[in-house]
Copies of this chain bind each other. A is one copy, B any other.
Amino acid sequence: MPEYKAPIRDTKFVMQELLNCEDHYQRLGYEDASLEMVDAIINEAAKFNEQVIAPINQIGDQQGCTWVDGEVSTPDGFKEAYQQYVESGWPTLSQPVEFGGQGLPASLNSAIGEYSSAANHSFAMYPGLSHGCMATLEAHGSEIQKQMFLPKLVEGTWTGTMCLTEAHCGTDLGMLRSKAELNDDGSYRINGSKIFISAGEHDMSENIVHVVIARIPGSPEGTRGISLFIVPKFNVNDDGSISDKNGVTCGSIEHKMGINGSSTCVINFDNATGHLIGEVNRGLNCMFTFMNAARLGVANEGVAAADAAFQGSLAYAKDRLQMRSMSGVKNPDGPADAIIVHPDVRRMLLTQKSISEGGRALIGYLSQQVDIVQASKEQVDIAKAETNLALLTPIAKAFLTEAGLECASHGVQILGGHGFIKEWGMEQLMRDTKISCLYEGTTGIQALDLLGRKILGSKGELLKGFATEIGVFCHANGQNPALTNYCIILGKYVEELAKYTQDIGAKAMINPDEVGAASVDYLMYAGYVTLAYFWAKMAKTASDTLAKGTAEEDFYQAKLKTAKFYFDRILPRAKGHAACMVNGADSMMALDSEDFIF
C-alpha cells in the first residue's frame, strides 16, 4: 500500500499564490483565516489524514461494513478514527460559530477534503454526508430545527445523510413514492424505502439525522410535489437531547465495487416521525441549493484519486528496474533502469500529475466562489460567483471524476501485474473512484446539465462570460514569452467551443436529441479547455515568481514543464471529442431498440 503524503506544497501554491486566499478571505471578512492560520490548518490536516485516516484505508476495503439485524459495523479502526476526527474539531471547521463551528471559509474545508478523500475515500464520505445535511438545515431549517440538530451535527457526535434515491428512481426523482402524512402535532409520518443511502447506518455516532424527500398526499405529481423532511434515527427533544427510537431501520447494505468502508444502506421508514424543512412541495428546490456544493465535493474526489494514484505509481516507477532507456543507459550500476525513464510511463505519470494539479486549481477556484456566495456582502459578486459555479460545477464534477478514473487506471497500468494485486493499493483506488462518476448525477447527467440547461438554456450567456474571462487573460498575457503560445492555443479552443455551441444549438432547434448526442463529448471538450486555462494561469504565477527570483526554482520550473505537457499532450484530446460531436445524433438514434442484438 503506498504511503499517502498530502500535497501541502501544491495546496499552498494554489490557495496562496495562484488564488491569493489572503486577500480573498480578508475581503469576505474571514478575519481568522490569516496566512498563518491557513498554513497551520493545512499542515495539521495533512498530518491527521496521513497518520490517522490513510492507515485504515486498506483494512476498510478488506473488511467492508457488516450488517447484522439492522445494525451496521464499520471496519476496524473507523470508529476510533472518527472519534479522533471529532475530538480534533475537524467537523466544526467551516460551520457557523453560533452552532459551535469555527466559522472558517468553505474553501479551506475543501482543500482539506481532498486530503481525506485521497487518504481514504470511504472514511471521508461520513463527514461528507453530514456536511450536506448541515448545509440543508442551515439554509432551509427553522430556528428550532437548527437548535435541535445543528450543534450535535457540527460537533460531529451526530452524523447526517441525504435520502433521495428509491429503487425505481435515481435521476428521475419526480417518480418518488415515499409518503409523508401530517400528524396532529405538526410533524409528519414518513413511510417508504430509500436505497443507496451513504452513511445511512453505522456505529460511529450517537444519532443519525436523515434528510429525506417524500411526497405529501394530494401534492402535484412529479418534481413539484416533493417535500423535504428531517427524520432522525432517534427522536430529538426540543433541547437537543436524544429521545426514543424513531421508525427508521436499515434493511440491508450493498456489496459494491469499491468504497467498501462506506456503508451504503437501504433505509426503511415505517411511520417514522419527520419534520418538514422549508415549504411544502419545495423540497427539490431546497436540494438544488446544495447540489453544487455536493457536486464540487465529488469533483474533489476525482482530484484526490488522481493524486493518490500519482503518488503510488510514481514511487513504484522510481523504484522498479526494468529494461533500459532507449536513449541510453541511465542506471549503469543497476541491472536495468528505473521505469520512470521510459516515455510511456512518463506519459501516464504526467497525465496523473497534470490532472491532479490542474484539478486542484479548478477546485480551489470554485471553492472560493462558494466562499463568495456564502460570505460576500456584494450582490454583484455573489451573482458572478453563482454564474461561475453554475457553469463550471458540472464540468468539474464530470470531467475531473472521469479524469480521476483514468488516472487511477494508469496507476494500475504503471505497476503492471502488481497493479492488479490488492496489496499494492492501486486497484482499490480504481474501484473506489468509479463511484464518483456515478453518484450526485452521472457524467451523462452533468453533461446534459451543462450543455442543455446551463449553456443552451442561457442562450450561450454563461459560456460567453467564461470565454470573455479567458479572453481577458490571454489578452493580458499574450506578450509574456512564457505564455504566448498558451494564449494563442487557448484562444483558438475557446473560439471553436463557441462555434460548436452555436452549431449544436441550431441543430437542437430541429432535433432536441442533438443536445444529448453531443453532451458528453462537449463536456469533455469544455473540461480540457477549462483545465488548460488553469494551467495557463499557473504557468503565469510560476513564471512571475521565477522572474522575481525564488529559492524554489525547481518547484516553479516543474509547474512550467507540466503546463507544457498539458498543452502538448492532454489538451489536444479535445480535438477527438470535437470530431465526434460534430457528427451529430443521426447515427446514434437510427437503430431501433429491438435491433441492438439479434
Using a CB–CB cutoff of 8 Å, the interface residues on chain A facing chain B are 5, 7, 9-10, 165, 168-172, 175, 195-196, 254-258, 310-311, 314, 318, 321-323, 325-327, 335-336, 338, 340-347, 349-350, 353, 405, 409, 412-413, 416-417, 419-423, 427, 430-431, 434-435, 437-439, 442-444, 447-448, 452, 511-517, 519-520, 552, 554-555, 557-558, 561-562, 564-565, 567-570, 572-577, 579-580, 583-593, 595-598
Enumerate chain B residues within 8 angstroms of A435, measured Cβ to Cβ: 420
Enumerate chain B residues within 8 angstroms of A588, measured Cβ to Cβ: 343, 346-347, 350, 565, 569
Name A344's contact: one of B256, B516, B568 (CB within 8 Å): B516
Q: A172-B336, A344-B517, A576-B579 are in contact. Are A512 and B327 (CB under 8 A)?
A: yes
A selection of 20 A-B contacts at a CB cut-off of 8 Å is A5-B597, A170-B322, A171-B322, A175-B335, A254-B421, A255-B421, A257-B420, A257-B431, A326-B515, A344-B517, A344-B520, A412-B438, A413-B438, A413-B444, A555-B598, A561-B591, A564-B586, A570-B580, A572-B580, A573-B576
For the complex of A and B, list the 7 residue pairs with the smallest distance between their C-beta atoms, beginning with the closest. Answer: A576-B576, A572-B579, A343-B516, A257-B427, A568-B583, A326-B512, A343-B517
Enumerate chain B residues within 8 angstroms of A423, measured Cβ to Cβ: 255
Enumerate chain B residues within 8 angstroms of A171, measured Cβ to Cβ: 322-323, 416
Name A587's contact: one of B341, B514, B564, B586 (CB within 8 Å): B564
The CA-CA distance from A583 to B513 in the complex, in Å, is: 36
The CA-CA distance from A442 to B586 in the complex, in Å, is: 36
Interface centre among A349, A519, A579 (most CB of B within 10 A): A579
Name A353's contact: one of B325, B327, B421, B596 (CB within 8 Å): B596
Interface centre among A322, A515, A583, A597 (most CB of B within 10 A): A597
Min distance, Cβ A258 to any Cβ of chain B, angstroms = 8
11 other A-B residue contacts (CB within 8 Å) besides A10-B598, A346-B588, A565-B587: A254-B421, A256-B427, A257-B420, A326-B452, A340-B593, A343-B588, A346-B591, A417-B439, A565-B590, A568-B580, A568-B584
The CA-CA distance from A448 to B344 in the complex, in Å, is: 9
Enumerate chain B residues within 8 angstroms of A565, measured Cβ to Cβ: 587-588, 590-591
Enumerate chain B residues within 8 angstroms of A557, measured Cβ to Cβ: 595
Min distance, Cβ A146 to any Cβ of chain B, angstroms = 31
B583 contacts A569, C-beta separation under 8 Å? yes
Min distance, Cβ A514 to any Cβ of chain B, angstroms = 8
Enumerate chain B residues within 8 angstroms of A338, measured Cβ to Cβ: 593
The CA-CA distance from A318 to B196 in the complex, in Å, is: 22
B343 contacts A255, C-beta separation under 8 Å? no
Enumerate chain B residues within 8 angstroms of A345, measured Cβ to Cβ: 444
Name A438's contact: one of B165, B346, B420, B514 (CB within 8 Å): B420
The CA-CA distance from A170 to B419 in the complex, in Å, is: 13
B585 contacts A579, C-beta separation under 8 Å? no
B575 contacts A422, C-beta separation under 8 Å? no
Name A598's contact: one of B175, B558, B569 (CB within 8 Å): B558
A513 contacts B327, C-beta separation under 8 Å? yes
Q: A321-B168, A558-B598, A587-B561 are in contact. Are A417 and B430 (CB under 8 A)?
A: no
Enumerate chain B residues within 8 angstroms of A170, measured Cβ to Cβ: 322, 416-417
The CA-CA distance from A342 to B420 in the complex, in Å, is: 34
Min distance, Cβ A64 to any Cβ of chain B, angstroms = 11
B327 contacts A511, C-beta separation under 8 Å? yes
Enumerate chain B residues within 8 angstroms of A417, measured Cβ to Cβ: 165, 170, 195-196, 438-439
The CA-CA distance from A146 to B430 in the complex, in Å, is: 44
Enumerate chain B residues within 8 angstroms of A195, measured Cβ to Cβ: 417
Min distance, Cβ A219 to any Cβ of chain B, angstroms = 16
A587 contacts B569, C-beta separation under 8 Å? yes
Name A256's contact: one of B421, B520, B596 (CB within 8 Å): B421
B580 contacts A564, C-beta separation under 8 Å? no
Enumerate chain B residues within 8 angstroms of A564, measured Cβ to Cβ: 586-587, 590
The CA-CA distance from A444 to B554 in the complex, in Å, is: 29
Enumerate chain B residues within 8 angstroms of A323, measured Cβ to Cβ: 171-172
Residue of B nearest to A259 (CB): B420
Name A419's contact: one of B327, B438, B575, B585 (CB within 8 Å): B438
Enumerate chain B residues within 8 angstroms of A585, measured Cβ to Cβ: 343
A420 contacts B256, C-beta separation under 8 Å? yes
Interface centre among A171, A420, A557 (most CB of B within 10 A): A420
The CA-CA distance from A564 to B584 in the complex, in Å, is: 12
The CA-CA distance from A423 to B590 in the complex, in Å, is: 32
Min distance, Cβ A340 to any Cβ of chain B, angstroms = 5
Enumerate chain B residues within 8 angstroms of A562, measured Cβ to Cβ: 591
The CA-CA distance from A595 to B512 in the complex, in Å, is: 49
A576 contacts B583, C-beta separation under 8 Å? no
Enumerate chain B residues within 8 angstroms of A598, measured Cβ to Cβ: 9-10, 552, 554-555, 558
B583 contacts A257, C-beta separation under 8 Å? no
Enumerate chain B residues within 8 angstroms of A568, measured Cβ to Cβ: 580, 583-584, 586-587
Min distance, Cβ A521 to any Cβ of chain B, angstroms = 8
Min distance, Cβ A525 to any Cβ of chain B, angstroms = 10
Enumerate chain B residues within 8 angstroms of A567, measured Cβ to Cβ: 587
